[in-house]
Structure 1
């Protein structure tokens, strides 16, 4: 069922408050993703997401660990677009294909450090930010810091916004991401 409520804006058709962010995204990526065109309906949502995303990218966690946070949220929230986009990003980062597959499939990660990131992310989500002492200790015992723990919270906020917006607007997987399309594993 297609959502006719959320048009895919161009820079010209978007609300004025979204245009600068759209132009910047287009310059940065070389194209304007349809999801951005749909989120542009709300300049506050679009610019809020882009600003939060940029801050998360500048966090002290390494890029692959950040992507573990993102894919954990994307698969949990069943955001087909986010899974495809962040699979592409992990591939570009030359992440272990077994890690990428495990994240997409919801199976055990072969890297104990990255598995600790996923467990901690899921614990924060399950407890609304109130993890057990054991969960926090486990995360910290894998070389992460209390600063990183708060950065996971930032990632959760950022990518919850993105996954919810993409699902609400039914943003499709762009042709550029088709090779990374995803369907959740059946139980």
Structure 2
């Protein structure tokens, strides 16, 4: 991978963030118990931070996928986008949501998941990510035949969109992995 130019973005805190980012950083710290580096970087552009934070909150409340399935999807897209920060973070979050370590390891290694339904989700997310939304009829049929409703295809678009924001932010800023996620460090494939 090519080394990027030294473009540095400050990791913002509640104290030094743009005014429009402060309430989200405050809410995030309250929710997570720490200042998340990725959100601190996104805070440099309040619209990016807002779109990600508010969108994710809305998705959580209005999801057709379970919390476990969403973590599978976040990991599958982050793997395809080679995002070391998000792979570490979502591996840790998936563990909190009791996703089996066997499934997490398979996602981190780019292998087939042992759970066939979750594997169909992972494969559909990967196809959506790598084909930039131009999935085939075969991709769609495998996903729907695994038991997912057609609305889940729209949710996958939403999840992949969120991962574009976070994965690309990590690529640009080389986000330091937060201490709570250090146990799940991941190297780019």
TM over 0.5: yes
Answering whether residue 81 of structure 2 is matched by residue 77 of structure 1, we say yes
Cα RMSD (Å): 1.6
**Which of 53-62 and 17-26 deviates more?**
53-62
Matches of 1:137 and 1:51 in 2, distance apart?
A: 31
SS in 1 for 2:112: coil
Query: How far is 1:3 from its partner?
Result: 4.7
8 Å CA contact 1:18, 1:46 repeated in 2: yes
Q: TM-score, normalised on structure 2?
A: 0.92
**Unpaired runs of at least 5, structure 1:** none
What residue number does 1:15 align with? 18
Matches of 1:97 and 1:182 in 2, distance apart?
A: 15
Answering whether residue 167 of structure 2 is matched by residue 163 of structure 1, we say yes
8 Å CA contact 1:105, 1:184 repeated in 2: no
What residue number does 1:53 align with? 56
Query: How far is 1:62 from its partner?
Result: 1.1
Answering whether residue 64 of structure 2 is matched by residue 87 of structure 1, we say no
Q: 1:181 aligns with which of 163, 179, 185?
A: 185
8 Å CA contact 1:87, 1:180 repeated in 2: yes
Report matched runs for 1:138-157 at 5 Å. 138-157=142-161
Query: How far is 1:128 from its partner?
Result: 2.5
8 Å CA contact 1:3, 1:170 repeated in 2: no
8 Å CA contact 1:72, 1:122 repeated in 2: yes
Q: TM-score, normalised on structure 1?
A: 0.93
Answering whether residue 43 of structure 2 is matched by residue 40 of structure 1, we say yes
**Unpaired runs of at least 5, structure 2:** none
Answering whether residue 117 of structure 2 is matched by residue 113 of structure 1, we say yes
Structure 1 runs (4+) deviating above 4 angstroms are 1-4
